[in-house]
Structure 1
Amino acid sequence: MIDFRYHLVSLIAVFLAVALGIVIGTTQLNGPVLTNLQGQVTALQTDKRALEDQSRELQAQLDDVGSFDEAVGPALVEGTLAERSVVLVVGSDDVAPDVLEGLTALLGSAGATVTGTIRLTPGYGDPANDAAVEAYVSGPGRPAGLAPAEGTDPAGLAADLLAEVLMVPPADAGTAGPVPASATSSVLAGLEELGVLSRDTSSVTPADHAVLLTAGVPTDENALRRTEALVELVTALDRRGSGAVAAGDPTAIEDGGLLRALRADTSVSAVVSTVDNVTVPAGRISTVLALAAESRGTTGAYGSGEDTQPVPPAP
């Protein structure tokens, strides 16, 4: 007769058999599986080291190219802006100091005179400042003798007044010439009091050309409004003088970036040149050559972005 003890022994035997099978199976599989995993890890480590070596080699090549461009830059631009003047407008806090310094030096090599540098604060184009800016540029901020500013919105009014006091009209413009330096100083001082700009240089006087430097993509709640204000400003600078160039880093051609906005508007891209790699020596060379091209009536998009030329056409 089969009793309870028999069933108990049978169950124990089954569980022992299962446990023994698991132990034996695991022991047999551990070796091949572990070896395979170790092989994959080793291969990945090898690939990682190879990619790191490749990255270092490519960076070294880029550094060599950058060093070469920096070395030959002065010779490439020499004389291209002889007897011309340029005012620099820094439109973003993200513009690196070495970009500004490098471009200033290169403009000197081209024979240009940098008449000053102004820096737009985050308050430029901020709707919170609209009323004060409009009241200033339409009233006490406008020097005597200047015609009413063009534009219907505060950003347009400010852009037109700034362009009028910062730019030297072209010889064929049929105007009396640039405003007095005192008028430029007065307008800039007033806008500085309103917190929309500051002056990097003690003196700022009118110039033939303007370069507006930008970087990154604004992300605050007024980002779109500020970008639109900068588009109006660089367009006004170009219209009032002998040509303007907007130069920025590669991120400025992304959605929301100033260069993207300028290139997307065909009416603007037809008159304002853009450079999207000013952070490297080649881009600063292109910026200087783009100004020279603007003085000849040639506008273009330069750099490494889509639908651009690597460099402006030779003189």
Structure 2
Amino acid sequence: MIDFRYHLVSLIAVFLAIALGIVIGTTALNGRLVDNLESQVSGLQEDKRTLEDTNQGLQARLDDVGAFEEAVAPSLVGDTLTGRSVLLVLADDVATEVVDEVSSLLGSAGATVTGTVSITEAYSDPTVAPSLESYVNGPGVPTGVQPTPSSDTGELVAGVLAQVLMTPPAESGQPPAAQTSGELASVLSALAGLDVLSYDTAPTERADFAVVLGTGPLGVGGDADATALLQLVTALDTEGSGVVVAGDAASATGGLVAAVRADATVSAAVSTVDNVDTAAGRISTVLALPAEARALSGAYGTGEDTEPAPPVQQ
């Protein structure tokens, strides 16, 4: 008769056999898995090295293209703005080297940069609006400046600024708004006193064109900032011979360039450039100014629905 001890020994033997089979099977399987994983890792490492080599090659080619564009830029823009003047307006904290390079290329085109004015965050701050409205509707504005008929503070300020900063094109038939540098200095000083703009050296004469430079997304003001800046861009264009709004890729996705391109009315009147941080973008910025004088506005750069460069007059 088979007793309990026999059953116990049999069960133990079965479990030992199962355990041994699992160990042997797992060991064999693990060996194949490890080999397979090592092969995949080696392949990925090789792909990584190939991509790094490709990236380095593309970067080298890009550097060569950039160096070439830098070298030929003065020749490409030469004499396109001879005898004309340009105002630089900084809508954000634009890198100093970008401002300097744009200024230098404008000089190569034969233009005179009348000055650089920086717009501060307070420009669109609703808490500053009452002070701005009081100024533009008060006796402090030069007699030659006629405030824009509007109840909107942004339009009022933009109109006053544009009249003293820009020269109407000869064909417009409009008389110049500010006849003396004193009137220009008076307006800039008053607005600087309200902290809505700043400048290192104030412009002393009006300009034919304006280049408005932006970078990155709009500030904390968001829509308010966009509205105020679009009003300023529109006023500068109305009073002068043309405006180009230039920024970087980030500005074209959530900044001033994007705001201009999203507004059908403004984008039809002024040109935009979304790669001013490159030599190609700076060339486009300068060449877009004489195009603006011919009423040819466009979107230039590398973004969607843009052209690589403005048309050049033959």
Between the aligned partners of 1:294 and 1:307, the Cα distance in structure 2 is: 19
Aligned to 1:307: 305
Displacement, 1:107?
0.3
Match of 2:251 in 1: 252
Distance in 2, Cα, partners of 1:271 & 1:150: 21
Q: 1:60 to 1:131 in 2, by over 3 A?
A: same
Structure 1 window deviating more from structure 2 (281-290 vs 179-188): it is 179-188
Distance in 2 (CA, whole Å) between partners of 1:140 and 1:274 is 36
What is the one-letter code of the residue matched to 2:41? V
- CA offsets, 1:16-70, max 9 Å, x none? 1222112101111122110100010011111111111111111111111111111
The answer to whether the Cα contact below 8 Å between 1:165 and 1:183 also exists between their aligned partners in 2 is yes
Q: Distance in 1 between matches of 2:132 and 2:297?
A: 31
Aligned to 1:148: 147
CA distance in 1, matches of 2:92, 2:166: 21
SS in 2 for 1:124: helix
Q: Distance in 2 between matches of 1:296 and 1:105?
A: 23
Q: What letter is aligned with 1:132?
A: S
Q: 1:226-251: CA deviations, max 9, x gaps?
A: 01111111111000011111011122
Displacement after TM superposition at 1:288 (Å): 0.5
Q: Is the 8 A contact 1:151 1:160 kept in 2?
A: no
Displacement, 1:202? Answer: 4.4
RMSD over aligned Cα atoms: 1.6
Q: Which deviates more, 226-235 or 2-11? A: 2-11
1:19 equivalent to 2:4? Answer no
Q: 2:288 aligns with which of 283, 287, 290?
A: 290
DSSP-derived class of the 1:191 partner? helix
Aligned equivalents of 1:226, 1:184: Cα separation in 2: 24
Verify: 1:65 aligned to 2:65, yes or no. Answer: yes
Q: Aligned residue for 2:215?
A: 215
Q: How many percent of aligned residue pairs carry the same amino acid? A: 56
> 1:5 Cα deviation (Å)?
2.5
| Distance change (3 Å), C-alpha of 1:2 and 1:155 | farther
CA contact under 8 A between 2:284 and 2:300: conserved in structure 1? yes
Distance change >3 Å, CA 140–CA 22, structure 1 → 2: farther
How far residue 175 of structure 1 moved from its aligned partner, in angstroms, is 3.1
- Partners of 1:200 and 1:259 in 2: CA distance: 25
Residues 194-233 of structure 1: matches in 2 within 5 Å?
194-218=194-218, 220=220, 222-233=221-232
Could you say what secondary structure the match of 1:245 adopts?
strand
What is the SS of the residue equivalent to 1:49? helix
User: Residue type of the partner of 2:186?
Assistant: S
> Cα deviations across residues 47-103 of structure 1 (Å, max 9, x unaligned)?
11111111111111111111111100001111000000000001012x222211110
- Cα separation, 1, equivalents of 2:204 and 2:15: 92
Deviations 1:111-143 (A, max 9, x none): 000000011112221222211222222224421
TM-score by length of 1: 0.94
CA drift of 1:206 comes to 1.3
CA separation of 1:205 and 1:12: change in aligned 2, threshold 3 A: farther
Separation (CA, whole Å) in 2 of partners of 1:202 and 1:241 = 18
Which position in structure 1 is the counterpart of 2:56?
A: 56
SS at match of 1:270: helix
Aligned to 1:273: 271
Name the TM-score, length of structure 2 as normaliser: 0.94
How far did residue 178 of structure 1 move?
A: 4.6
Q: Kindly provide the CA deviation profile for residues 234-274 of structure 1, in whole angstroms up to 9, marking residues without a partner as x.
A: 111000011111011122221x4222221222221221111
Q: Secondary structure at the match of 1:168?
A: coil
Q: Partner of 1:188 in structure 2?
A: 188
Does the 8 A contact of 2:117 with 2:202 survive in 1?
no
**Which is worse superposed, 172-181 or 206-215?**
172-181
- Letter of the 1:21 partner, please give it: G
The amino acid that maps onto 1:143 is: P
**Structure 2: how far apart are the matches of 1:55 and 1:141?**
59
SS in structure 1 of the partner of residue 307 of structure 2? coil
Who is 2:111 aligned against?
112
- Higher mean displacement: 232-241 or 264-273: 264-273
Query: What's 2:84 paired with?
Result: 84
In the alignment, structure 2 segments of 5+ residues that lack a partner are: none
Return the offset for 1:284.
0.4
Query: Runs ≥4 in structure 1, deviation > 4 angstroms?
Result: none
Residue 165 of structure 1: how far off its partner (Å): 1.1
